[in-house]
Structure 1
Amino acid sequence: MSSAFDSSILQDGGIEGVLFDIDDTLVDLRYAAIDAFLVMVSDLLEGVTADQKRTVAQDFADDGAGAYERYMAGEISFLGQRQLRLNRAFELVHREPLSTAAYLQWAEKYESLVKESWKPFDDVQAHLSALTTWGIPYGAVSNNVEAYQRMKLERSGLSGFAVVIGSDTAGAPKPDPAPFLAGCAQLQIAPARTLYVGDNPVNDVLGANNAGLVAVFLDRESKHSPVSAPTVSSLEELTALLSKSIVVREHP
């Protein structure tokens, strides 16, 4: 079960700006990663069943290796974390990992494919349009490099983000307060009047709350344990809830 959405946080036009996580909140990165991975291992994992390939593709996309947090901590490079995830995938089906040279070639092709598969979730455009109609400014705060995430938004057809904060520009990754506060500063909205929407209970929900923002947990597949924050299963649901309490502002 999800925590009930406490509509009292939205009363009296209390929300004046919205910040979003990007990966698997706005952009279906998991789908893109699985899709590109399956193409890239079709010849490398001959003899492995389709079901096994999908299982390891999902593990790769979900970072069963726990590599991305090590990248965020500065322990390994971006390519290094992806290599660890690929090595784990091969190990799960009892195959030898690629050599470093072969991996670098694989990574280059994978990157090209995954970019082609980036797309927003079906409910994103309508939600952003509603915010625009209401005169509510919005932006994004992400645990990745700002330039890369801006490119991801643009290639996904989400070009309306003037405010994009990356872990590099904020000087620290979520759940540190710095990126959240940097986003609020660029929106020119006080943290207490800024909604933050994300899919990670720790990096997004706990981080935003600790920074003084109003966190909303987006649990699209209802696969997480309940969290101590308002929870929605889609941005369509959030749009409906906001529509009941948002005070429409004039566009500047």
Structure 2
Amino acid sequence: MSDLGVDGVLFDIDDTLVDTRGAFGSALGVVARRYLSDLPEGRYPELLVHWRADVENHYGRYTRGEATYREQRMARANLMHASFGGDVLDDAAYDAWDAVYEDAFQAAWAAHDDAAPVVKELLAAGLAVGALSNAATDYQSLKLGRAGLADSVPMLVGVDTLGFGKPDPRVFVEACRRLGTDPARTVYVGDELDVDAVAARRAGLTGVWLDRPGPRRVPVSEAEVAAAGVVVIRGLDELPGVLDGRVAP
């Protein structure tokens, strides 16, 4: 990777660098044993699907600055309880629920196996590397630290930086400014086709969709993938080869 035509790589964090799906599953299992005692353990995978799907798009409202972090998580917790036989959580009950959930969630944070080696390879090639996320900056910095990536992947832009998040093109441009790279020479890698890869391309970056094996948070058709006009990889270990392929012979 001596002349990539690329000066920097920006990463999404959740389910890109960090196995957040696995952490969700661990935390929801702890919650279910305490708050959804009538739910058979064999149905716990349904909780993960429900939580990640966020069918009422409460997290989307948060990233647009239309709801607080607490409001979106409390709404999602109550929707899950309503769907799986739990009690309604008032403010006090939610605070207790959230403490249980958050302790288990943070305890399960871990980097994907392919994250640190690929970041190391990109840095060794002289590329600037940073993170852009739709969660709060301090929270994601903590997550990167727990995952052992904070020293190599600085958290540059969160949803609190500008008061809104992806897919707004301004967050990508601001992340490039902080990274010190031109958007046209910057790659953005994320696990969401629309919010990450397509939005990055519309902001002038090269969008790379990380379609890891396993169930997708939102179903995506092959026609949508083909129309997206972005690079698709199945693991971060494919990224250096993609970047090498950008070099004209």
Runs of 4+ in structure 1 off by over 6 angstroms are none
Give 1:115's aligned amino acid: Q
Give 1:21's aligned amino acid: D
Query: 1:178 corresponds to which residue?
Result: 170
Task: After TM superposition, give the deviation of residue 87 of structure 1 in Å.
Answer: 1.4
In 1, Cα distance between equivalents of 2:118 and 2:104: 27
Q: 1:158 aligns with which of 137, 141, 149?
A: 149
Q: Residue by residue, what CA displacement relative to the aligned partner does 1:21-78 show, whole Å, maximum 9, x if unpaired?
A: 1111111112111211111220322221112232123312332342101112233221
55-64 or 184-193, which deviates more: 55-64
| Kept after mapping to 1: 8 A contact 2:184/2:206 | yes
Query: 1:230 corresponds to which residue?
Result: 231
In 2, Cα distance between equivalents of 1:105 and 1:171: 28
| Kept after mapping to 2: 8 A contact 1:19/1:197 | yes
Task: After TM superposition, give the deviation of residue 236 of structure 1 in Å.
Answer: 0.8
Q: TM-score, normalised by structure 2?
A: 0.87
Give 1:172's aligned amino acid: F
Residue 98 in 1 paired to residue 89 in 2?
yes
Task: After TM superposition, give the deviation of residue 163 of structure 1 in Å.
Answer: 4.8
Query: 2:206 corresponds to which residue?
Result: 214
Give 1:35's aligned amino acid: S
Q: TM-score, normalised by structure 1?
A: 0.87
Query: 2:55 corresponds to which residue?
Result: 64
In 1, Cα distance between equivalents of 2:129 and 2:149: 12
Query: Mind listing any 5+ residue stretches in structure 2 that lack a counterpart?
Result: none
Aligned runs of 1:122-201 on 2, under 5 Å? 122-159=113-150, 160-201=152-193
55-64 or 21-30, which deviates more: 55-64
Q: Give SS of 2:9's match.
A: strand
Q: 2:76 aligns with which of 70, 77, 85?
A: 85
Residue 47 in 1 paired to residue 38 in 2?
yes
Q: Give SS of 1:239's match.
A: helix
Q: Percent identity at matched positions?
A: 36
Task: After TM superposition, give the deviation of residue 245 of structure 1 in Å.
Answer: 5.5
Query: 1:4 corresponds to which residue?
Result: none
Give 1:33's aligned amino acid: F
| Kept after mapping to 2: 8 A contact 1:65/1:84 | no
In 1, Cα distance between equivalents of 2:199 and 2:138: 22
Task: After TM superposition, give the deviation of residue 122 of structure 1 in Å.
Answer: 1.1
Q: 1:27 aligns with which of 18, 38, 41?
A: 18
197-206 or 218-227, which deviates more: 218-227
Task: After TM superposition, give the deviation of residue 134 of structure 1 in Å.
Answer: 0.6
In 2, Cα distance between equivalents of 1:51 and 1:92: 16
183-192 or 158-167, which deviates more: 158-167
| Kept after mapping to 1: 8 A contact 2:2/2:125 | no
Task: After TM superposition, give the deviation of residue 20 of structure 1 in Å.
Answer: 0.7
Give 2:235's aligned amino acid: S
| Kept after mapping to 1: 8 A contact 2:30/2:100 | no
Task: After TM superposition, give the deviation of residue 112 of structure 1 in Å.
Answer: 1.8
Task: After TM superposition, give the deviation of residue 11 of structure 1 in Å.
Answer: 10
In 1, Cα distance between equivalents of 2:155 and 2:115: 17
| Kept after mapping to 1: 8 A contact 2:28/2:47 | no
Q: Residue by residue, what CA displacement relative to the aligned partner does 1:138-167 show, whole Å, maximum 9, x if unpaired?
A: 001111111111111111111212352112
Task: After TM superposition, give the deviation of residue 93 of structure 1 in Å.
Answer: 2.1
In 2, Cα distance between equivalents of 1:136 and 1:152: 23
Task: After TM superposition, give the deviation of residue 89 of structure 1 in Å.
Answer: 1.4
